[in-house]
Copies of this chain bind each other. A is one copy, B any other.
């Protein structure tokens, strides 16, 4: 059930059998969430954190003119709001993009974890810092990359993130959102998103259709995006 979390962690560090057991005891109570459902609202007090088991979720913020920025995408094995463990409430909303399965970790149990398992604590701390590293790369995209490069970069990032949890088949992966929502990740309108996708298609780099991304030319896509996976910390290092 939480095996994708272990895959994600073991790409980055050693995880002992005891630590694995502790996580299995901490993360419990499976639940299902339909697509397009807000699972967490900004400001509400939190007493547990959520691990994504299956499906795709996002965090987002809105402006009053109705424009929305998706600030993060989450794939299976990611915590949606582990940062909420120390923040106590969120500064953003969280919603499902596809039907999802989730599991819960009570904050009271996480407190005990920080008291008894310092290495595991640092590893969980690491995962929130990894989220922040992805935020920084998105800031670079939103601030400086062109529309096509932004889209190309996102496709490269998800290729790597999904690959390590076993969710890439050949050169394609499920990416269940529509062009409007993709535009909300990329800081552009649905119309322009459509044009950007057409350019990637015509340049034979990647296609996005019906919630499926097909990478036709990974090297070309990475070159266009100036993608360097270093910010995903895919190296195994003691934390």
Contacts and interface: CB of A to CB of B under 8 A. Distances in A.
Q: Is the interface of A mostly helix, strand, loop or mixed?
A: helix
Contacts of A67: 144
Contacts of A138: 139
Given A43-B230, A121-B121, A91 B61 contact: no
A114 B88 CA distance: 20
Nearest to A239: B86
A7 interface: no
A121 B237 CA distance: 20
Nearest to A128: B129
A68 interface: yes
Contacts of A88: 237, 239
Contacts of A176: none
Nearest to A238: B88
A121 B113 CA distance: 12
B91 A230 contact: yes
A68, A87, A233: residue with the most chain B Cβ atoms closer than 10 Å: A87
Contacts of A230: 42-43, 91
Contacts of A133: 83, 87, 91
A76 interface: no
A140 B184 CA distance: 10
Given A111-B118, A126-B87, A132-B83, A139 B140 contact: no
A233 B87 contact: yes
A83 to B, nearest CB: 4
Contacts of A64: 226
A138 B63 CA distance: 13
A136 B136 contact: no
Contacts of A136: 59, 61, 71-72, 91-92, 135
22 contacts: A61-B136, A61-B137, A61-B140, A67-B144, A68-B144, A71-B136, A83-B132, A85-B122, A86-B239, A87-B130, A87-B233, A88-B239, A91-B136, A91-B137, A91-B230, A92-B136, A114-B118, A118-B118, A118-B121, A121-B121, A128-B128, A143-B187
